[in-house]
């Protein structure tokens, strides 16, 4: 049985987010960015945030473990915060230390709501590169 989704936000550094993305790739989870893309675009010394929102079960792929679909707020090399999704194993998420107070968690969730998506950011970066 899958534990209920925690109503919390966890902070991770860039190395930890890359490890989570590698784990998602090993399991062929559907919501993840390529690790190479993350290495190229994430700010190296930044803190990133994960907010679990949905239990993801792939009934058509019973060999894939249940995961929590997290909204992910990332800081990219331009200093901007953008959001995407990342599927994370419940046990893996539970091992991330709880380091944020209630106010910081609320602020992070509000930032997720205002942040541009990965695709919007990439589109804008492509348009700026073409200018």
pLDDT tens-place string over residues 4-22: 899 999 999 999 999 999 9
Nearest to 49 by CA among 89, 20, 78, 90: 20
User: Is 48 within 8 Å of 13 (Cβ atoms)?
Assistant: yes
For residue 25, is it within any domain?
yes
For residue 72, is it within any domain?
yes
- Residue 102 lies in domain: 10-130
For residue 42, is it within any domain?
yes
What does residue 73 show for φ and ψ, rounded to 5 degrees?
Answer: -105, 115
For residue 44, is it within any domain?
yes
For residue 57, is it within any domain?
yes
Count of the separate structural domains present in the chain: 1
CA distance 6 to 68: 10
Interval 20-37: pLDDT, tens: 999 999 988 888 888 999
Which pTM was predicted?
A: 0.91
């Amino acid at each position: 049985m899958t534990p209920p989704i925690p109503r919390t936000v966890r902070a991770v550094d860039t190395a930890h987010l890359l490890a989570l993305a590698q784990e998602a790739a090993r399991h062929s989870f559907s919501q993840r960015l390529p690790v190479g893309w993350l290495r190229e675009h994430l700010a190296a010394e930044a803190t990133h945030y994960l907010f679990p929102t949905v239990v993801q079960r792939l009934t058509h792929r019973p060999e894939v473990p249940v995961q929590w679909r997290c909204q992910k707020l990332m800081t990219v090399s331009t200093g901007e915060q953008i959001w995407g999704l990342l599927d994370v194993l419940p046990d893996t998420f539970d091992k991330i230390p709880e380091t944020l107070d209630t106010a910081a968690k609320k602020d992070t969730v509000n930032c997720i709501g205002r942040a541009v998506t990965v695709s919007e950011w990439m589109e804008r970066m492509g348009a700026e590169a073409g200018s």
